[in-house]
Amino acid sequence: MPDLEIHPGGAAPGHEPERGVAFHFDLGSPYAYLSAERISRLFADAELPQPEWKPVLLGGLFARFDRGSWAETAAREEGMREVERRAQAQALQPIRWPDPWPGDMLHAMRVATYAKSIGRTVSFALAAFRQAFAGGRDLSVPDNVAIAAAACELHPNAIAKAAASGSVKRKLREETDRAGDRGVFGVPSVVVGDEVFWGDDRLEDAVAAAARAG
């Protein structure tokens, strides 16, 4: 399965590790959704500080590392069934796939970047993920993004203005570039020091690494 691949390397040569733990996500990724639903609990149960949630544009990482989505390969059906099994094992609502999926997440990720700038990354990301994969709503439609934003008290006019702003566009590009510099080439990825843990199946490994790092 694509989610079970192990990343062969760490951060880029000469890159200084950042402090803390970072959870990189894109709202179009169902595996990132699964991780988002449990990462806070896992870190809390381990009595560790919460990771910083960082929105990145998966398409940008694909372009940088010359990769593509498993959802556009022969592994699509197998991967979808695996996501559904994992959601059931986590006692989440049954997966409802947006149509189309995968979709264009650029607007949604710009809104996520704006939400991060005002301290609402987690609440917006969870609301948006649930709109997509529990509600089956296409986040490439701005109105569906606005519904998720309203759930965490973000005004539709504010998110529309922010998503169109040069500063938010630049922040998303910069965050995606920084993630790539650290060795993140897909999502979900948790970075602990200079170690990259890619995939929902490696979330527990990331927590263990964070515990070792103290």
| Domains delineated in the chain | 20-213 (3.40.30.10)
Helices (H), 104-202: 106-117, 121-133, 142-151, 156-163, 166-181
Contact present, 14 and 182 (Cβ < 8 Å): no
Nearest to 154 by CA among 141, 165, 145: 145
- Write out residues in the chain with pLDDT < 70, as ranges: 1-19
pLDDT of residue 152: 94
DSSP-assigned letter for residue 3: G
What pLDDT was estimated at residue 214?
82
Q: What gap in Å lies between CA 128 and CA 139, rounded to an integer?
A: 8
Query: CB under 8 Å, gap of 24 or more: what pairs does 64-70 form?
Result: 64/180, 64/185, 65/180, 65/185, 67/185, 67/186, 69/102, 70/2
List residues bridging with 55 in a β-sheet.
25
Backbone angles phi, psi at 13, to 5 degrees: -55, 135
